[in-house]
Structure 1
Amino acid sequence: MADSERLSAPGCWAACTNFSRTRKGVLLLAEIILCLVILICFSASTPGYSSLSVIEMIFAAIFFVIYMCDLNTKIPLINWPWSDFFRTLIGAILYLITSIVVLIERGNPSKIVAGVLGLIATCLFGYDAYVTFPLRQQKHTAAPTEPADGPV
């Protein structure tokens, strides 16, 4: 590939960096990184809890790619705002439950760190659910105030 073609083509890297500068992109990247750190902490202490971090990290990465490539407008079959809302809401609830259980059990320091990071993940996923709530984003149009022509 020639240098002029490489510089003129936006490519995947440009789409990734452009999307990662948006609020949704920052939230998804933060979710991916936080899930990875929690996965490392759970793997060091109790591998039984690590599946939640793996699943949430994979879902966040999938939604990152979907929004980055603008597939949400190209695949109208799925209602993406509601799917993303339920993903984040379920993630927040599951991280809250898992973190409380892990912190009550008390174990080695990596388990406690994973529990605290799980509570932070609960807040992050909860904020993402609040931001992506579809009914909050709908614009309402004003009702006409003029009377309709015709018999009353």
Structure 2
Amino acid sequence: MADTTEDSNFIFSRKAIVLTLEIALCLIATICKAMSFGCYLWGSIVELVWAIIIFIVYAMKLDVLLRFLPWTDFFRAITGTLLLFICSLVCLKFAVTNEFSMEIAGSVFGLLAATVFGFDTLCIIKQIKELNEESNIILI
């Protein structure tokens, strides 16, 4: 019988859509910031690379081999939220005072990416909580 659960096809799962959105927004923010030669380009690049790595790990179903992956993913998402939020606010203030339009666009996409990373953080917290409840049931 065919398995039609969310785990059987990662590409169409909510996690894949969120990771794809994170990758796309970080890529757009990186391109906009690179075009303006603005500030803090490295933040969006680091989060872009981490999102691609996590996407590949989940797509290749290596998450069943790595027990610590939900926590790694949690720290990636929470640092992405904080890093992109703070860097985008600083760059937005810098761009508005100096009237750099591409830097403003990059900062706005960085803030959108920070929002998506925040949503991913909340989803990961829910996933970790469910994993802990399952492990407590098995141990009893």
Q: What is the TM-score normalised by the length of structure 2? A: 0.80
1:131 to 123, 126, 134: 123
2:28 to 30, 37, 44: 37
Code of the residue aligned with 2:79 in structure 1: it is I
User: How many residues are aligned here?
Assistant: 123
Q: How far apart in 2 are the matches of 1:125 and 1:98?
A: 14
**1:104 partnered with 2:93:** yes
RCO comparison, higher one (Cα < 8 Å, 6+): 2
Q: How far off is 1:122 after superposition?
A: 1.1
Q: Which stretches of structure 1, 4 residues or longer, exceed 4 Å deviation after superposition?
A: none
C-alpha RMSD of matched pairs (Å): 1.7
Structure 2 unmatched runs, 5+: 1-8
Q: How far off is 1:47 after superposition?
A: 4.8
Per the alignment, residue 74 of structure 1 pairs with 65
Structure 1 unmatched runs, 5+: 1-17, 145-152
Identity %: 33
Change (3 A) 1:67 1:31: same
Largest Rg, 1 or 2: 1
**1:65 partnered with 2:41:** no
Structure that is richer in helix per residue: 2
Q: How far off is 1:34 after superposition?
A: 0.8
